[in-house]
A = this chain, B = another copy of it.
Amino acid sequence: MIEVAIVEDNEKIRSLIQRYLDMQDNLSCEAAMESVEDMLEYLKENNPPNVMLMDIQLPGMSGIEGIGIIKEKYPEVEIIMLTVYHDSHKIFDSLKAGASGYLLKHTSLPEIKESIENLAEGGAPMSPQIARKVIQHFNDPGQKQKKESDLTPREQDIVNGLVDGLSYKLIADRFDISIDTVRAHIRNIYKKLHVNSKAEVITKSLRGEI
C-alpha cells in the first residue's frame, strides 16, 4: 500500500484527487492540506507518506520552498510537483530542490495514479512537455561545443590529461609517448587556442569553449 499526501490550495481539485486516489486498492490518501505549513503540522503527529503531490502556487510558503523543508526532515518522501507552471525556471528549481517528478495539472486522474506507481518502481514521472524541456537543457550547450575546437583527437587527449591534473610526465606515460611529444602537442594547442598556460586550457575546456 502506497501512502500518498497532497498539498494543493484549490479545495475542489484537492478533494477530487484525494477521493480518487484513496479509492484505489493499492493507494491510500489520508492527508490533503492546503499549504506546506499545514502539512508540516500534520507530519508532527503522523507518519510521513511515501509520495507527496505538491502544487507550486500556495498560500504562505511556495511549493518549491516546501520541497527543501520536507526533504530535509523526511528525506524518504518522494515529491511529485503537480502544477500549471511549465516554465524552465520553476521546473529546474523544483528538481534541484529534490522533486522526483513533475506533472502538469491537465494530467488525468488515472495518469496521476500511474505516475505514483511508476515512482514506486524507481521511475520518474514527467509530463511529456516537461521531459522535452529537461532534455533541451542538455541539447543547447551541446551545440556550443561543436562550433569551435580545431583540436585533433590527440590534442584533445592531451587536454583531457591536463584537466585531470596530470603533469607532462604522467600524460606521456598515459599515452605511451615521450614527454617531448607532449610538449610539442601542448605548443600546438596553445597556438590554436591563443593561450599560454595550462590553466587557460583547463578553464576553456571545462567551460565548454573547446
A residues with a Cβ closer than 8 A to B are 68, 72, 92, 95-101, 118, 121-129, 131-132, 134-135, 138-139, 141-143, 145-146, 162-167, 195, 197-200, 202-203, 206-207
Are B138 and A96 touching (Cβ within 8 A)?
yes
Are B131 and A122 touching (Cβ within 8 A)?
no
- A121, A199, A207 — most chain B CB neighbours (10 Å): A199
Residues on B with beta carbons closer than 8 Å to the beta carbon of A131: 123-126, 131
Are B146 and A199 touching (Cβ within 8 A)?
no
Are A138 and B203 touching (Cβ within 8 A)?
no
Are A142 and B97 touching (Cβ within 8 A)?
yes
B98, B121, B145: the one contacting A139 at CB < 8 Å is B98
In the complex, A37 Cα to B202 Cα: how many Å?
34
A196 to chain B minimum Cβ distance, whole angstroms, is: 9
Are B124 and A132 touching (Cβ within 8 A)?
yes
User: Quick one: given A139-B96, A203-B206, are A123 and B132 in contact (CB under 8 Å)?
Assistant: yes
Residues on B with beta carbons closer than 8 Å to the beta carbon of A129: 122-123
Q: In chain B, what residue has the closest Cβ to A207?
A: B206
Are A122 and B118 touching (Cβ within 8 A)?
no
B135, B163, B197: the one contacting A165 at CB < 8 Å is B197
In the complex, A126 Cα to B131 Cα: how many Å?
8
Are B124 and A165 touching (Cβ within 8 A)?
no
Which are the 4 A-B pairs with shortest beta-carbon distances? A123-B128, A124-B131, A165-B200, A95-B138
